[in-house]
Amino acid sequence: MNDKSQFIPTIEGNEISSFQTTWSAPSNIALVKYWGKKELQIPSNPSISFTLSQCRTTTSVRFERHKDNLDHVSFKIQYEGKSATNFEPKVKTFIDRILPYAPYLKDYYLEIDTVNSFPHSSGIASSASAMAALAATIMDLEQRIYPSLTAENLIKKCSFLARLGSGSAARSVEGPIVLWGKHAAIPYSSDLFGVRWTKAADVFKTYQDTILLVDKRQKGVSSTVGHKLMHNHPFAEKRFAQAKAHYQALLTILEKGDMDGFSDLVEREALSLHAMMLTSSPSYILMHPNTIQIIQEVRRFRNTTGLHITFTLDAGANVHLLYPAHEADKIDQFIASDLRKYCQDNEFIYDRVGTGLKKV
């Protein structure tokens, strides 16, 4: 069922006066990129991602039921124990968007406390893990209010809510591989929520993701602005068609365990994403000269060693290096000796494919 009305509670729930819960959600890295969206976080093309393991947001929320009927949600947010008013607008937009599906929130005051496992200023997008963790705390409250909610529906709705905060957050609820966006090849896929896909060959379930921090500053153009620039983009329709074709091709590659096919497709996806930025109006460049240096060195190393290292890029200058666990020794050595110098303050993060939300 792909109708969003399925997420609107229809029965009378329990009255919970006070509830505190903590959830941790991972970041994810898109292999086929979501770039361009329609109203209310509906993607213009379907995407596929690896869920990460170590890069996470942990969020605690204390829900206090109002004594009086205020009929609006109120909240306070802290980041690493300090008041974080800069996060308020994004959280307010999120709550406003999810209220039709979580109307019980109007009865509560929320005290939100959040931390990231990775440095805040690392240039790693935290909106996916942040929105997924916050959605998980809300779904935990919902489970208390409506105990008949099944585990399957809870996960699905969690992804649905997270998507309304940040599109890519729909893919941060489960792992190791998540599909988001309707595609004819997968009948159970949806534009409304991410779904777990389990048919990949084992080798891809142990993939490593080492993130080279080329530029730790906040990027110059946000993803939200980038998505908007896909409206009236001269190559938009071609790009959406390419992503749909890549989606289908990547599923076959993953199922077959075809690591060479994986490198070829995933790298073209990353470069297509950045090509959209280079050719939008206004145009902009998020890659850094060191991003290009790394790409060249990775390709040279792969050609000479035959090892299966693949790069991909987010909407930023940092580079994600993906490779199988059984080749990690040699590839980690190459990263430390040849690539580290391209990172700001020589910093990089070791991560790997992971499984999704965790209750803390």
Q: Which residues bind ligand DP6 (CB under 6 A)?
A: 30, 33-35, 41, 47, 125, 127, 166-168, 223-224, 227, 273, 314-315
Smallest gap from Cβ 221 to ligand DP6, in A, equals 11
Amino acid at 346: N
Token output for 327 = 């080749």
In terms of CB distance, is 47 or 114 closer to ligand DP6? Answer: 47
In terms of CB distance, is 21 or 189 closer to ligand DP6? Answer: 189
Dihedral, 248, 240, 28, 60 alpha carbons, nearest 10:
-130
Amino acid at 262: F
In terms of CB distance, is 73 or 179 closer to ligand DP6? Answer: 179
In terms of CB distance, is 21 or 51 closer to ligand DP6? Answer: 51
Smallest gap from Cβ 220 to ligand DP6, in A, equals 14
Smallest gap from Cβ 277 to ligand DP6, in A, equals 10
Smallest gap from Cβ 131 to ligand DP6, in A, equals 8
Smallest gap from Cβ 15 to ligand DP6, in A, equals 34
Smallest gap from Cβ 59 to ligand DP6, in A, equals 17
d(CA 274, CA 237): 16
Smallest CA-to-CA distance from 220 within 316, 290, 128 is with 316
DSSP string computed for 79-143: ETTEE-GGGHHHHHHHHHHHTTT-GGGGGEEEEEEEEESS-SSSS---HHHHHHHHHHHHHHHHH
Give the three-state DSSP class for 247: helix
Beta-bridged to residue 310, according to DSSP, are 322
Smallest gap from Cβ 286 to ligand DP6, in A, equals 9
In terms of CB distance, is 302 or 354 closer to ligand DP6? Answer: 354
The set of residues, in sequence order, having a beta carbon less than 8 Å from that of 207 and lying 6+ positions away, is 50, 322, 323, 324, 325, 352, 353
In terms of CB distance, is 61 or 169 closer to ligand DP6? Answer: 169
Smallest gap from Cβ 273 to ligand DP6, in A, equals 6
In terms of CB distance, is 157 or 302 closer to ligand DP6? Answer: 157
In terms of CB distance, is 141 or 178 closer to ligand DP6? Answer: 178
The runs of H, that is alpha helices, within the chain are: 88-98, 127-145, 151-165, 223-228, 236-256, 259-278, 289-305, 328-334
Give the three-state DSSP class for 69: coil
The set of residues, in sequence order, having a beta carbon less than 8 Å from that of 203 and lying 6+ positions away, is 257, 259, 324, 326
